[in-house]
Amino acid sequence: MTTDLLAPYTLNDSLELKNRVLMAPLTRCMADDNLVPTQDMVEYYARRADAGLIISEATIIRPDAQGYPNTPGLFTSEQIQGWKKVTDAVHANGGKMFAQLWHVGRVAHPHFFGGDVLAPSAIGVEGSVPRMRELTYITPKAATKDDINSLIADFAKAAENAIEAGFDGVEIHGANGYLIDQFLHYAANERTDEYGQTPKNMARFAIEVTDAVINAVGNERTAIRLSPGAYFNMEEDKRDKAVFDYLLPQLDAKKLAYIHGGIFDDSTQFDSLEGKTTSQYLRANTKTTLVGVGSYSFDDAKQAINNDKFDLIAIGRPFIANPDYISKVANNEELVAYSDEMLAKLF
């Protein structure tokens, strides 16, 4: 029997999805200057409510989490009220939505908040802020134990705020070279305390954030996105695999809603993962519901799910180009091709 990606899927006791096609988190840099979602964002997300689950664009948990202009937040009451309009509109159209909780760590820029840039270690990245190239990245401050405790508490607070804002759950952004991912990779983590040097120590921050979020909103409403292979703002290191080998079974025990790969193209094979792709490595190392992603067409995703490579698919760029992605694939209609110029405007 072939699996119909457009048939309902039971994620867990609290979440029934109307199909297996998720809208991937997509940063659009369109919040207002107080990082509050706008009416255009309400309409943009509401138009995509046919997805089985919308994952919001990455949303910062506190001011020093910001590394790009006009990324929305979830730490002021105005931001919570702004998101409430988005989730109300998505729910009114029969959709479900998670908030992706974000701290960029060492790719934050003080231009946005005027304070220290926090990271696991004082190791900077080359380059400058996208869309604001005059802002060169600076060397971060290695987070103290107090900094770490406050970061964990603020992830949990943002999760609580997400539920208040009407989200159906949260996805912890543990991928793509941002703060949590920086703890998980040797290239960014040279700590000598209980958060560094060994797989168990390097996984500690991710686990403590996850536990704090679960404590705030429950395991069934908590998911995490991970990039076991380093590919974005991060150098690959052969030792990284052992960190994820340790982390994944720990996460399995927590019965999360799902684990989501963080990758642009899932045909990318990583030397550090013994030649495996992101979804191959995750499938082999976790029993949690797996969301595949990364340059998939609907037909490729159908085949991958039917071959048990993962359970659900997240679609990114095609969802930017086609607000009506689901009805188009359901009716075998041709999709509009994505192009980067489409990022200039929400439609």
User: Could you tell me which residues come within 8 angstroms of residue 68 by beta carbon, excluding any fewer than 6 positions away?
Assistant: 27, 29, 104, 129, 130, 131
Residue whose CB is less far from ligand 8K6, 13 or 126: 126
Minimum gap (Å) between residue 30 Cβ and ligand FNR? 11
288 interacts with ligand 8K6 by CB under 6 A: no
Binding positions for ligand 8K6, 158-197, rule CB under 6 A: none
Minimum gap (Å) between residue 26 Cβ and ligand 8K6: 8
Which of ligand 8K6, ligand FNR, none does residue 262 bind (CB under 5 to 8 Å by kind)? ligand FNR
68 vs 195, beta carbon nearer ligand FNR: 68
178 tagged catalytic:
yes
Q: Residues binding ligand 8K6: what is the number (CB under 6 A)?
A: 7
Catalytic residue among 9, 68, 137, 178: 178
Q: Is 141 exposed, middle or buried (0-12, 13-18, 19+ CB in 10 A)?
A: middle
Per-residue contact string for residues 250-269; x = within reach of ligand 8K6 by CB under 6 A: --------------x-----
Residue ranges binding ligand FNR (CB under 6 A) = 24-27, 57-58, 100, 173, 175-176, 225, 262, 264, 293-295, 315-318, 343
Active centre residues (catalytic): 178
Residue ranges binding ligand 8K6 (CB under 6 A) = 27, 58, 68, 130, 231-232, 264
